[in-house]
Homo-oligomer: A and B are copies of this chain.
Amino acid sequence: MTLKVYLSGEIHTDWREQIMQGAAGLDVSFDAPVTDHAASDDCGVAILGAEADKFWHDRKGAQVNAIRTRRGIEGADVVVVRFGDKYKQWNAAFDAGMAAALGKSLIILQPPEHDHALKEVDAAALAVARTPEQVVQILDYVLTGRLPG
């Protein structure tokens, strides 16, 4: 049975592509948020009409994006959440909280310098990975029992 993986979080590097390419031979399906930053920010007003107030401009967009992200998380077996070097990334931590509450298997992908700040998030995860390659190796092992090397 296909393993359903949702790739949440940082959208400024190619970590999703690395994981998807690395897992090319595996029975995995991937889902993710819209990673075009401008489209993601403006989708609400682009479709449903402009807002004078930036707060509601953002609200409209965030809610349209939520149609995709909640379905992605709810439908997943495994949720991978990537924290990068920049930005607040509160939406990533929010997705991790949703995934934890829904009983999803959570993998956090983050550099060691964030270990202390992410300790509550990591404590809800089944793995804390440092590289996309490690995420691929986990998916490979989970599906086939194969270990790297």
* 11 sampled A-B residue pairs with Cβ under 8 A: A49-B130, A58-B116, A59-B122, A59-B123, A60-B127, A64-B126, A66-B105, A67-B142, A69-B120, A90-B117, A101-B101
Instruction: Collect the chain B residues with CB atoms within 8 Å of residue A123's CB.
Output: 58-59, 62-63, 66
Q: Which of A12-66 contact B (CB under 8 A)?
A: 29, 31, 34-36, 39, 42-44, 46-49, 51-56, 58-66
Q: Are A47 and B142 in contact, CB atoms less than 8 angstroms apart?
A: no
Max chain B CB contacts within 10 Å: which of A3, A47, A70, A121? A47
Q: How many copies make up the complex? A: 8
Which one of B47, B49, B75, B124 contacts A138 once the chains associate, using CB atoms below 8 Å? B47
A94-B93, A141-B64 known; A46 vs B120 contact (CB < 8 Å): no
Which residues of chain B have C-beta atoms less than 8 A from A147's C-beta? 39, 42-43, 46-47
The 6 closest A-B pairs by CB, nearest first: A97-B97, A93-B93, A62-B123, A101-B101, A58-B119, A94-B97
A29–chain B nearest beta-carbon distance, Å: 7
